[in-house]
Every structure is written in C-alpha cells, then in structure tokens.
Amino acid sequence: MSKPAPAPVALTPAEIAFVRGLVIFEDAELIALAKPAGLSSQGGRIAVHTLDELLWAFARPGKARPRLIHRLDRDTSGVILAAKTKPAAGFLGKAMMARRIHKTYRAIVTPGAPDPRGGSIEAALRREEIGREAYMRVCPPDHADAETAKTRYRTLAEGPGAALVELSPETGRMHQLRVHLASIGRPIAGDARYGGALVVAGQPVPRLMLHAGALSFPHPAGGTKRIEAEVPADMAGLAAALGLAERG
C-alpha cells in the first residue's frame, strides 16, 4: 500500500526566497541545492521547516513538491539533490542503491593528518539509541546489527593541530564519515557527539566542519553530471586560520 502524498506546506515569502537562493543547478528533472549547516534535511525536531518542507516552494499548482534523493546531517553543509518528477526520482533512487552516485566531502580533522595520509577505512557500524538520540558505533563485522561501511580518504593540507581531508564514502551509513574518522583518532572538528575538538589552535570551531563539496551521478536524461558547492565562509575561514591551504 503506497503512502499518501504529503500535504502542502504553507511557506512565508522569506522562506521561499531563502530556499530559492540555495539553488546551484536546476533543469527539467532535478534541482541541486547548497544546504547550509543548521538546516535539517528531513524530520527535524525544532519548530522550523526542514529542507524537505521548503521544497514546496518549487511545487507547481496541483503537483507534488520535488523529493529529496538523499540526506545530509543537520550540521553538514553542501550539495543535496532533489528530483522534480516521479521518473527522475525512481531513476536516481536506483542509481543511489547501485552506488552510482559518488559524493566527495571536505573535513577539518584534529589533531593532525591521518596516518597514513591517504587510504581507506573499513569498519562495520551499528546503530545505538541513547534516549532520543541515535549514535553509530564501530563494531565487529559479525555483530548481529553490523552494517558494512567503507570510506576512502586523502589528506589535502596539514597545519598546527589540524588537517584538511577529502572523503569519498563508498557506503552511505548514518554518521559514517564522522564515526570512521573518530575511529582512527582523527575526529572532525566541531563534532561534539563523536569527540571532535571545539577549539583548535586557539580558534573556536563554529560547527561540525564537514562539507559535501561535490556530487557526480548519472543524469536521468543521459550522461554523467557533476555538481559542486563552494565551501561555506565559516569553514573556509577556519581552514585559513589554521594554515590549511590546499596545494594547487
């Protein structure tokens, strides 16, 4: 039995202008947005609209809103993709299941570069509920609740007490990048949940320093599309303060 279509959400002119300002690519099949940190993708508990609800700004009269193809954590910024039609949603959903949508992230980690500076992290994860909060934990691969998880990484720059790394998840587990980096002793700066530093080399960390910088995926109309989102000013500013300039 299919789920009923969600009821339209009434948005203010300011909310409509805000979400339209996040668009970095749009065509007949899809919309890509640069999600800011602090905005829940779906199911937020605070009394503000989620990105999913804000997508009603793009709905045509009598039509459903675009639907998100994937999610980003509330405090993660970057590229997020929504399908404008049912065929596009089905196509991209299948591409996601087949791991044909490739994501590239940037993260600031402490206390320095991973050792080795590049490679992969393969550690199974399991979900744990503590009160109303959900956590992911590294666990043995034969644990009853284990989910396989793999992350490729490489160090882009290193400064005093921190490093800038590029991350390419090969699986899409909740909090995967955050838990994998913490598991090798390099938690993401600002990630209080998994041991990330809130001050680095005297610099306050404003939020989780994780940014979904690029998405590469098969387009419903054919070919491959790559979409990039600029690193937000707060993360770029911290990287500069920590001497984490990427080598060209």
Burial class (CB within 10 angstroms; exposed 0-12, middle 13-18, buried 19+) of 197: buried
Worst-scoring range by mean pLDDT, 6-10, 92-96, 117-121, 139-143?
6-10
* Domain boundaries along the sequence of the chain: 13-101+216-225, 105-210
Instruction: Examine the pLDDT at 1 and tell me if it is beyond 60.
Output: no
Q: For residue 133, which phi and psi values (nearest 5 degrees)?
A: -105, 145
Q: What is the DSSP string of the chain?
A: -PPPPPPP----HHHHHHHHTTEEEE-SSEEEEEEPTT--SS--SSSS--HHHHGGGGPPTTSPPPEESS---TT-EEEEEEESSHHHHHHHHHHHHTT--EEEEEEEESSS--SSSEEEEE--EEEEEETTEEEEEE--TTSTT-B--EEEEEEEEEETTEEEEEEEESS--TTHHHHHHHHTT-PBTT-GGGT--SEETTEE--S--EEEEEEEEE-TTSSEEEEE-PPPHHHHHHHHHTT-PPP-
Least confident of 60-64, 132-136, 199-203, 236-240: 60-64
Give the model's pLDDT for residue 4: 62
**Tens digit of pLDDT for each residue in 36-88?**
999 999 876 555 789 999 999 999 887 789 999 999 999 999 999 999 999 99
Query: With bands split at pLDDT 50, 70 and 90, how would you rate the model's confidence at 196?
Result: very high
Answer yes or no: is pLDDT of 3 > 70: no
How confident is the model at residue 76, as a pLDDT? 97
Closest of 172, 174, 176, 194 to residue 185, by C-alpha: 194
190: pLDDT strictly greater than 80: yes
Kindly tell me if the per-residue pLDDT of 183 is higher than 70: yes
Q: Which CATH architecture describes the domain 105-210?
A: 2-Layer Sandwich (3.30)
> Looking at the predicted structure, is the pLDDT value of residue 199 above 60?
yes
Assess whether the region 13-101+216-225 and the region 105-210 belong to the same CATH fold: yes
Q: What is the mean pLDDT of residues 187-212?
A: 97
Is the pLDDT at 5 greater than 80? The verdict is no
What residues does 203 pair with on adjacent strands? 200
Give the per-residue pLDDT at 204: 97
Would residue 73 show up in a list of annotated catalytic residues for this protein? Answer: yes
pTM of the model as a whole: 0.94
102-120: b (≥16 Cβ within 10 Å) or e: ebbbbbbbbebbbeeeeee
Question: What span, in angstroms and rounded, lies between the C-alpha atoms of 42 and 50?
Answer: 5
Q: Spot the catalytic one: 73, 142, 191, 234.
A: 73
CB-based contacts of 112, cutoff 8 Å, min separation 6 = 158, 161, 162, 163, 186
pLDDT band of residue 160 (cuts 50, 70, 90) is: confident
Mean pLDDT in residue range 143-166: 96
Report the mean per-residue pLDDT for the chain: 94
Work out the burial of residue 94: count CB atoms within 10 Å of its CB; fewer than 13 is exposed, 13-18 middle, 19 or more buried: exposed
Q: Which residue type occupies 39?
A: L
pLDDT at site 63 = 77
| Whole-number pLDDT of residue 156 | 98
> Tell me, what's the pLDDT at 64?
80
**Which residue bears the tokens 């990330």?**
196
The domain made up of 13-101+216-225 is a member of CATH 3.30.2350.10: yes
At a CB cut-off of 8 Å and minimum separation 6, what does 162 contact? 108, 109, 110, 111, 112, 189, 200, 201, 242, 244
**In this predicted model, what pLDDT tens digit does every residue of 204-215 receive, in sequence order?**
999 999 999 999
| 212 vs 101: CA distance, rounded Å | 13
